[in-house]
Amino acid sequence: AGVDPAWLPREVWRPLGSRRTLVDGSGPLVETVHGEVAAGCARYGGAVVRGTRGARGAPGVPDGSYDLVLRLVHHGGAGRHTDPALLASPGEEGFVHERSGGTTTVTASGQRGLLYGLFHVVRLGEDAFRGDRAPEAHRPATELRMLDHWDNVAVHPVMGQVERGYAGGSLFWRDGSAVADLERVRGYGRLLAACGINAVSVNNVNVHEAEAHLLTDRVGDVARIADALRPYGVRTHLSVNFASPVLLGGPACADPLDAAVREWWAEAVRGVYAAVPDFGGFVVKADSEGQPGPFTYGRSHADGANMLAAALAPHGGTVHWRAFVYDHRQDWRDRSSDRARAAYDHFATLDGEFADNAVLQVKHGPMDFQVREPVSPVLGALPRTRVAVEVQATQEYTGQQRHVCWLGPMWSEVLRFRPGGEHGSAVGALARGGMVAVSNVGDDPFWTGHPLAQANLYTFGRLSWQPDAEPRRILDEWIALTFPSAADRLVDGLRTVLHGSWRTYEKYTAPLGVGFMVQPGHHYGPGVDGYEYSPWGTYHFADRDGIGVDRSAATGTGYAAQYSGPWAELYESPGSCPDELLLFFHHVPYGHVLSSGRTVVQHIYDTHFEGVAEVEEARRVWAGLADLVEPARHARVAERYEEQVRCAREWRDQVNSYFLRKSGVADERGRTIY
Ligand code: GCW
């Protein structure tokens, strides 16, 4: 009650709910499917029949008397497909969808497959019940499609309850334990299943004192959450502290090669599986930003990951080991060290050393979720390692869910990038370890704070299922589900305000890939020199003559040489480096002419004026949709546009004034710069 239905408003059930459906098969997720169909039918007058034979319909009733058949076929069971390979191919999570003789059929050999098949029919709406359709197999590109929550159980004095959370408190934790009423958690699982996500990590990767106990004496809390997510095929994972043995009263060290430490972890994992039989595994941030790790004991990150992998393996669990390892106590005076190099320098040489159930979880860019970064060279550098791509749905650096910033196009660019050049595989195919997003969800009634930020969560889910999908098609799907029977004017308006919003955000913030320039600590709003003399390794090096970081091999930090294929060469020279990444790779004078024909400083002025104008225009378009959107949702977005316009102007004026003062170069068009 009081919670936004997001992309599953009741009307989306009308086509299915007004028809006759057979749900055939048995198992807990088949019960979920049946429950969903029954609820739809109760609303819209259809009927659902329950079969449990796993083949050939309910006793005595031919399939043809149903509009929809949702069937779980057991391995080796009798299917009605002429081509058994087609039926076998979808795997545990896939399904086959077809339509003939007035009956739509979804067949799956795994229960999750049936659930995803159901939501496929929901997405198709009336189209699912029209014409004929030859059998199509649908299956996810990768078996792990995960959201990481940076939620603290205890409210952290600096970071609050959800680190980098912009949607209220935690969905899972309240007053120091798992929330008493798990209805919303269950509803979350349902939304996730409807966009293809099958795993959630329920606590922050910075594992503080209270949260460390989730692994042992507090595992009952984790089990309650897992019980709520399980009916929707979502497995629960936990972030753990590498020094857990020490913190939780085990051996006095956490050396991954120490027998007593290994036995401590094996025992802890046995306890977790006793409470959560389908537990997914661990997420680990080690030797990063103050978190403990194997370096303390002179061990490698493969040693660390493999110890946890060994403890998890007998139970079928996976360890997600994050590659976000860098020196956060850098000396800004030292121009030879480069944070961008760190992940590759630490991990590329470990290829082939990780256990089969260890996944290396790599941030999509080499720095930290900036609005524009090159794709991390790590993603193409470990062919013998299961690598997962990590993106950030929570908008830490992209407007903190006060600004509209639809990230579909950015994620799609990452997933389509081919690290080995045009003939090599895309990142979406190389990421055999899965796709992970830092969740943007909290206990906010709209789930994501900004109602339009729901589109990011949905888009991530669908891209994780199909990384080469066209993001605009996914956005249209989200619009159609979230705003059923929307007038064309509303559909057009939503497209207008969302499609270009990432590029708009890029225009009014840090230019040409240089990154950061945010207020230190909370990271909201402009702070051009906010991190310039800090230990965090995030510099732009602007002076009176120029700006940017020389990461070339010839004269800079050598980062560009971490790429293979044609990329190393392309990024090496300012002449061939794409404009949007120029300042990431090169330090150039303000008068340097971009391939667009504009100078760097004029580009900065122009884009900042344009960016603000685009936000003002989006605010106007949104205001014009007031008659077509429910008042509460409209008002929430409208209010956030006020803040976005204010903040974008602040960005424009600070960035433009900064560069005018540094460079002394006037704006060609004589606009107001302070
Ligand atoms: O983006 C940075 C954030 C930290 C975060 C870290 C990480 C959880 O500023 O708050 O810590 O990344 O990814 O581990």
Do 464 and 196 meet the contact criterion of CB atoms below 8 Å apart?
yes
- State the Cα–Cα distance between residues 130 and 119, nearest whole angstrom: 17
3-state helix, strand and coil shares in percent for the chain, rounded to the nearest 5: 40, 15, 45
Distance 392 CA to ligand 1 centre (A): 10
Q: Which of 203, 204, 200, 271 is nearest to 233 (CA)?
A: 200
- State the Cα–Cα distance between residues 515 and 371, nearest whole angstrom: 7
pLDDT the model gives residue 403:
98
- Out of 98, 151, 221, 396, the active site residue is 396
Extract the tokens encoding 600: 């760097």
Distance 508 CA to ligand 1 centre (A): 23
Distance 7 CA to ligand 1 centre (A): 28
pLDDT the model gives residue 81:
47
Burial tier of 619 (Cβ tally within 10 Å: 0-12, 13-18, 19+):
buried
- Out of 67, 98, 338, 368, the active site residue is 368
- State the Cα–Cα distance between residues 286 and 304, nearest whole angstrom: 9
3-class SS at 233?
Answer: coil
> Per-residue pLDDT averaged across 261-277, rounded?
98
pLDDT digits (tens, 9 = 90+) for 212-223: 999 999 999 999
Q: Which atom of ligand 1 is nearest to the CA of 523?
A: 9
Distance 174 CA to ligand 1 centre (A): 22
CA dihedral (117, 431, 270, 154) positive or negative: negative
Residue nearest to atom 2 of ligand 1 (CA): 368
Q: Which atom of ligand 1 is nearest to the CA of 368?
A: 1
Do 406 and 456 meet the contact criterion of CB atoms below 8 Å apart?
yes
Q: Which atom of ligand 1 is nearest to the CA of 397?
A: 1
Burial tier of 11 (Cβ tally within 10 Å: 0-12, 13-18, 19+):
middle
> Per-residue pLDDT averaged across 203-218, rounded?
97
Residue nearest to atom 13 of ligand 1 (CA): 324
Distance 280 CA to ligand 1 centre (A): 22
Distance 369 CA to ligand 1 centre (A): 9
Q: Tell me the percentage of the chain whose pLDDT exceeds 90.
A: 93
- CA separation (Å) from 273 to 222, 266, 320? 11, 11, 17
Q: Which atom of ligand 1 is nearest to the CA of 159?
A: 10
Q: Which residues pair with 136 in a beta bridge?
A: 97
Whether residue 76 has pLDDT greater than 80: no
Do 302 and 350 meet the contact criterion of CB atoms below 8 Å apart?
yes
368 catalytic per annotation? yes
Q: How confident is the model at residue 1 (pLDDT cuts 50, 70, 90)?
A: low
Q: Which atom of ligand 1 is nearest to the CA of 164?
A: 10
pTM greater than the 0.95 cutoff: yes
User: How many Cβ atoms are within 10 Å of 81's Cβ, its own excluded?
Assistant: 15
Q: Which of 364, 369, 621 is nearest to 498 (CA)?
A: 621
Location of each CATH 3.20.20.80 domain in the chain = 145-482
396 catalytic per annotation? yes
Q: How confident is the model at residue 78 (pLDDT cuts 50, 70, 90)?
A: very low
Q: What is the mean pLDDT of the chain?
A: 95
pLDDT the model gives residue 108:
95
Q: Which atom of ligand 1 is nearest to the CA of 205?
A: 8
> Per-residue pLDDT averaged across 389-409, rounded?
98
pLDDT the model gives residue 397:
98
Q: Which of 239, 396, 400 to mutate to test the pocket of ligand 1 (most atoms within 8 A of CB)?
A: 396
Q: Which of 368, 371, 531 to mutate to test the pocket of ligand 1 (most atoms within 8 A of CB)?
A: 368
Residue nearest to atom 1 of ligand 1 (CA): 368
Extract the tokens encoding 584: 């990431």
Distance 613 CA to ligand 1 centre (A): 31
Tell the residue number behind the tokens 């004029």, with chain if given. Answer: 602
Check residues 51 and 257 and name the one with the higher pLDDT: 257
pLDDT digits (tens, 9 = 90+) for 500-510: 999 999 999 99
Location of each CATH 3.90.1330.10 domain in the chain = 506-549+587-663
Class of domain 506-549+587-663: alpha beta
Do 166 and 402 meet the contact criterion of CB atoms below 8 Å apart?
yes
pLDDT digits (tens, 9 = 90+) for 313-356: 999 999 999 999 999 999 999 988 999 999 999 999 999 999 99
Residues near 306 by Cβ (< 8 Å), separated by ≥ 6? 256, 353, 354, 355, 358
Q: Which of 163, 211, 242 to mutate to test the pocket of ligand 1 (most atoms within 8 A of CB)?
A: 163
pLDDT the model gives residue 63:
86
pLDDT the model gives residue 381:
97
Q: Tell me the percentage of the chain whose pLDDT exceeds 70.
A: 96
- State the Cα–Cα distance between residues 645 and 357, nearest whole angstrom: 47
Q: For the domain 145-482, what is the CATH superfamily, name and number?
A: Glycosidases (3.20.20.80)
pLDDT the model gives residue 79:
46
DSSP 550: -
Q: Which of 78, 75, 117 is nearest to 99 (CA)?
A: 117
- Out of 83, 136, 289, 643, the active site residue is 289
**Which residues surround ligand 1 with Cβ inside 6 Å?**
150, 163-164, 205-206, 285, 324, 368-369, 396
- State the Cα–Cα distance between residues 435 and 141, nearest whole angstrom: 10
Extract the tokens encoding 660: 């005018």
Q: Which of 396, 354, 355 is nearest to 378 (CA)?
A: 354
- CA separation (Å) from 643 to 37, 425, 594, 647, 655? 42, 41, 32, 6, 18
Question: What is the CATH architecture assignment of 10-138?
Answer: 2-Layer Sandwich (3.30)
- State the Cα–Cα distance between residues 203 and 388, nearest whole angstrom: 19
Extract the tokens encoding 434: 């899965």
Q: Are strands 160-162 and 151-156 parallel, antiparallel or unpaired?
A: antiparallel
| DSSP codes joined into one string, 373-406 | -PPPGGGGT-TTSEEEEEEE-S-TTTTTTTS---
Cα end-to-end distance, the chain, whole Å: 49
pLDDT digits (tens, 9 = 90+) for 589-612: 999 999 999 999 999 999 999 999
Distance 88 CA to ligand 1 centre (A): 41
Distance 360 CA to ligand 1 centre (A): 17
> Per-residue pLDDT averaged across 277-296, rounded?
97
> Per-residue pLDDT averaged across 441-464, rounded?
98
Q: Which atom of ligand 1 is nearest to the CA of 204?
A: 8
Q: Which of 147, 148, 149, 150 to mutate to test the pocket of ligand 1 (most atoms within 8 A of CB)?
A: 150
Whether residue 89 has pLDDT greater than 80: no
Whether residue 566 has pLDDT greater than 90: yes
Location of each CATH 3.30.379.10 domain in the chain = 10-138
